[in-house]
Chain A
């Protein structure tokens, strides 16, 4: 892919990622009869959270997509998608803290301490912070091999996020279960690759050993 095409595609993906926010904004301002419905705070809260979760899973789908399709350029979009996950999750938190609780620390702290699903959500957000901060090229260079290790935090973050959703739902757990299923698939594929890699390595070392042992 030429740098020019890549650039154009990145701009297109960037705009696509902003569409959910755009729709929420139009609904919030009541443009063209659109609305957030009878409970706008809840609607904003849930939609931002859902999009954060969507982008987390989309980000986690890049590696399997790349391996299955052989389209290596897919990796070029991963950072942007991951940052959009962070962006929507941060918005989700700000809607909760700002609109729902109106920054009343006593209620926010009570929620984090006493309500397990909120505890999980906050942990996921806090764990996301270092990943967002170290997403620049400079940080990647500076951290070297440790960068990849650090960014594997996205696996527990995704698990926490789906769990947070599952625990929040009142009764109908179908939707969080679908998210859990997709996440299990995405993590399962990685485990499979990991096993494959190990087997290959094992085969290689066995091969070397055999060769060194034969006179």
Chain B
């Protein structure tokens, strides 16, 4: 199956991105040299992954490695955009266990490696739209969430899936302040969770996830605002009732459960009609935001009959 000399879409990249990548590989090399003395931990443990091309990739040019790994919202490591890059470097994600519970036949504690091992890792280049009206194009690596969830045999009462991030203020310094109601919680309907676009993500740019991007595993739901993409997941629960997600708990009039990208429904404090593409530079114009972030063809049917203005 695996073709050794296959060129991935994101490998055709601009020179500046190339230089960034080279600088990164150089520092990774140094880290590898250090690893002969100590086992690599934190971001020094980021490694190349074996991947196969996945479906649904956009042919838009991905953002640089630097953009993707230094401009992040991950409040567990601080509320500034560069805080996660700064403060997550030494976060240790090995060992990592995920608890599966709720309405399913095979609940239990699963090691990260056991969760991922049976699946092929797919490259998927997705548009990423933040609720703050900026966007990127990111070459994720992951497995369809549905394929993973089916292994736990959810029963007919499993209408929703609830996800939880690690809560450990010693390792996640942002949790020492009650900016949000920790631990971070997100949720999907079972149909959304099973949709082939929904990706349980373990890597980016062909490598395992850097900590600031939600290592070791996070969700990517490309037709929803970025905050639905919960990071550093430690718990997955199948539920009968709609779970309350953290942003909805903290500001219910501003953030709903669905959080589908929708240029026609503004955030109460700012417009969602246009977005600023990260990496486009100081003089670039904003671009129009697409319904469902451009994935309407794939997902619009999930919401037929639903009032998207009320269910924002």
**Is A68 on the interface with B (CB-CB < 8 A)?**
no
**B27 lies within 8 A of chain A by Cβ:** no
Within 8 A of A (CB), among B49-84: 63, 66-67, 70-71, 75, 79, 81-82
Whether the pair B132, A170 counts as a contact (CB closer than 8 A) is yes
Judge whether B276 and A38 touch: CB under 8 Å. no
Which of A42, A99, A102, A171 is close to B250, meaning CB atoms less than 8 Å apart? A171
Q: Flag if B179 contacts A38 (CB, 8 Å).
A: no
B270: nearest residue on chain A (CB-CB)? Answer: A115
Nearest CB in chain A: distance from B310 CB, A: 20
Q: In the bound complex, do residue B180 and residue A171 qualify as a contact, i.e. CB atoms below 8 Å apart? A: yes
Bound Cα distance from A54 to B81, whole angstroms: 21
Decide yes or no whether B269 CB sits under 8 A from chain A: yes
Which residues from A are CB-within-8-Å of B63? 38
**Partner-binding segment picked from B31-39, B165-173, B281-289, B295-303:** B281-289
Q: Is the CB of B251 within 8 A of A171?
A: yes
Q: How far is the CA of A168 from the CA of B267 in the complex (A)?
A: 12
Interface of B is mostly: loop
Is B155's CB within 8 Å of the partner chain A?
no
Within the complex, which residue of B79, B82, B285 is in contact with A172, where a contact is CB–CB below 8 Å? Answer: B79
Chain A's nearest CB lies how many Å from the CB of B25? 19
A43 to B179, CA, bound (A): 22
Given that A28-B282, A172-B179 are contacting pairs, would A37 and B81 also be in contact in the complex, using a CB cutoff of 8 Å? Answer: yes
The reply to whether the CB of B13 lies closer than 8 angstroms to some CB of chain A is no
| B279 contacts A by Cβ under 8 Å | yes
Are B70 and A37 interface neighbours, CB within 8 A?
Answer: yes
B residues 72-118 near A (Cβ < 8 Å) are 75, 79, 81-82
Residues of chain B contacted by A37 (CB below 8 angstroms):
70-71, 81-82
A117 within 8 A of B: yes
- Does A40 sit within 8 A of B, measured CB to CB? yes
Query: A residues 3-30 with Cβ under 8 Å of B?
Result: 28
Q: Which A residues are closer than 8 A to B by beta carbons?
A: 28, 36-42, 44, 99-100, 102, 107, 110-111, 115-117, 167-168, 170-172, 174
Q: What are 6 contact pairs spanning A and B, CB under 8 A?
A: A36-B282, A39-B278, A41-B282, A99-B282, A115-B270, A115-B271
A38-B66, A38-B71, A111-B271 are known contacts; what are 18 more A-B pairs with Cβ within 8 Å?
A: A37-B71, A38-B67, A38-B81, A38-B279, A39-B71, A39-B81, A39-B134, A39-B276, A39-B278, A40-B282, A41-B282, A42-B276, A99-B282, A99-B283, A117-B269, A167-B269, A170-B132, A174-B177
